Amino acid sequence: MKPMAHLGVGIGWRPEIADAVERLPGLDWVEVVAENICPGHLPEALLRLRERGTRVVPHGVSLGLGGADRPDPAKLAALGERAVALGAPLVTEHIAFVRTSSPVLEAGHLLPVPRTRDALDVLCENVRIAQDALPVPLALENIAALFSWPGEELTEGRFLTELVERTGVRLLIDVANLHTNRVNRGEDPAAVLDAIPLEALAYVHVAGGVERGGVWHDTHAHPVPPVVLDLLAALRSRVDPPGVLLERDDDFPPEAELAGELAAIRAVVTSGPAPRVRTENAPKAAERQGNAPEAAGGPGSTPKATAGPESAPEAAGGLESAWEGADGRGVRDGVEAARTRVALGQAALLSALVAGTPVPEGFDRGRIRVQARALAAKRADVVARLAPELPGILGGRAPYREAFLAYAKGRPMTAGYRRDALDFAEHLLIRDLPADPAARRRLTAWWRERAGVRPPRRVVRWARALAGRAA
C-alpha cells in the first residue's frame, strides 16, 4: 500500500468555533461532520478555509457499515456529494452499526459490531459497496465502546487487519478510543497498534473524555488527557502518522486552550526520530484502492475508489475462494446467511438498549444499562440542540429533560433526531401537556409550523392516550 498523503495537524470544524478555527496558528486541515453540511450551501467560514488552501475532509456518522443491511445508496450518494463539494482527498466513516431494519430502530449513536467471522464478512461486503459508490477513497475509524459482545472470535487487531487485507480500506485510528476500550473492555492499546497494518493509516483522532464509576465516557467535551497523548506517542514511535486531528464537539474552551491542545499534539507528532514502518503486515489487497489519497493531488481532485473480490483467501476465512465456484452463488449465499445472523443479534441488542426489551444472554447487564441511559441522554441533548425552543417552552432544561426521558422510555427513535423532536412534541400534546395553557399553545404553534398539519383534536388525543395506556 502506498504511503498516505501528508495532512498535518488539524481540528474538527464546528460552527460554534468557526471563527476561532480560522485564527488558529499553523492549522493544516479540518474535518467536518458530513451530515451537518449541505453541498450547495457551504458555510462561509469553510469556504474561506478552502480558499486559503486548507484541506477539508468529510467525516460520516450515519452509514452504519457494520450493520446487517447493505449501505443505503442515498446516504452513500450524499457522502460522495460532500466529498466533491469540499474537494476532499478522502472520506471517513466508522466501524459501527447505528440502526436495524427489523424492527426499525435508530440508535442515534455508534455501536460496536461483534468481532466474529459473520460480522467481518458482512462488514467487508458493505465496505466494498461503499468503495464502489464513493468518488474518493474511504477510511474507517475504530470506535469507543462501553461493552463487549459475547462469543467474539477475533481480537480488535486481527479484526482490523483482516478488514484491510480483504478490502484495501484505509484506517482512521482514534487513540482516545483505544484508551476508552482499555478502561471499558480491558483491551491493550499496544497490542492493537502492534497487530494492525500501520501502512494503511489515513490519519489519527485525538479527543478528551472523563471517567465516572469505572467507565470511561468518550465525551469530546473535555481536554485531551495525558494518557491519550501517551498513546499518540506510542503510535508515533511505530509510524509517522500522515495526519492528526483534535476532536471537540461540546463545552468548547477558549481559543487559547484549543491552540494549546493543538500545540501539545504537534509536539508529540514532531518529537523524536522518524519511526520505521513495519512491512510484515502489509495488506494483501494493497492495490485494491490504487487511487489512494496520495494520488488525490490538491484539494479539488476527486479520484475514484475501486474495489474487488480478489483479496487474500487465506486471510478471509475461506470467503473469497468461494467466488471461484457456481458463479459466486456460494459466497453470496454465505454472506446472506451471515447478514441474517448478524441482523438477529443486532436487533436484540438495540431493542434492549432503546425499547426496554430483555438484555440478550451473555451481555454485561450493568454495562447495557449504562449504555441505554447514555443513549437516552444523548437523544435529549441532540433534540434540545436541534429544537432549542422546546426547553424554553417546557420551563427550562430540567423539566424538558425529565419530560423527554419519560417519553424516550416508551418511544424508540425510528427516523432520526428531527423527526424525534416532532414526535416528542406530539406526544406531549396528545396528553394535554404541558399543563400550563400558554405553554401548550406555544408548543402547538411550534409543532404545527414544523409538521405542516393540524394538531390532533381533543377526541383523537384522548383515544391515542387511552391506546397508549392499554399498551
Residue 195 and residue 161 in contact, taking contact as beta carbons nearer than 8 Å: yes
Whole-prediction pTM value?
0.84
Spatial CA neighbour of 429 closest among 456, 411, 392: 456
Q: Residue 424 is placed in which grid cell?
A: 416528542
Question: How distant is the alpha carbon of residue 191 from its chain centre?
Answer: 23
Q: Which residues contact 179 (CB under 8 A, 6 or more apart)?
A: 189, 209, 216, 225, 227, 228, 231
SS3 call for 141? strand
Residue 442 and residue 422 in contact, taking contact as beta carbons nearer than 8 Å: no
Query: pLDDT tens digits, the chain, 471 residues: what are they?
Result: 777 889 999 999 999 999 999 999 999 999 999 999 999 899 999 999 999 999 999 999 999 999 999 999 999 999 999 999 999 999 999 999 999 999 999 999 999 999 999 999 999 999 999 999 999 999 999 999 999 999 999 999 999 999 999 999 999 999 999 999 999 999 999 999 999 999 999 999 999 999 998 999 999 999 999 999 999 999 999 999 999 999 999 899 999 999 999 999 999 999 866 676 554 544 444 444 443 434 334 434 434 433 333 333 333 344 444 444 445 566 778 899 999 999 999 999 999 999 999 999 999 999 999 999 999 999 999 999 999 999 999 999 999 999 999 999 989 999 999 999 999 999 999 999 999 999 999 999 999 999 875 555 554 555 555 555 444
440, with CB counted inside 10 A (0-12, 13-18, 19+), is middle
- Name residue, grid cell 476500550: 181
Q: Residue 177 is placed in which grid cell?
A: 478510543
CA dihedral sign of residues 139, 225, 193, 124: negative
Q: How far apart are CA 217 and CA 211, in angstroms?
A: 6
Q: How far apart are CA 285 and CA 228, in angstroms?
A: 31
Q: Residue 440 is placed in which grid cell?
A: 401548550
Residue-level pLDDT at 381: 94
Residue-level pLDDT at 456: 53
Q: Which residues contact 37 (CB under 8 A, 6 or more apart)?
A: 43, 46, 58, 82
Count other Cβ atoms within 10 Å, centred on residue 397.
Answer: 13
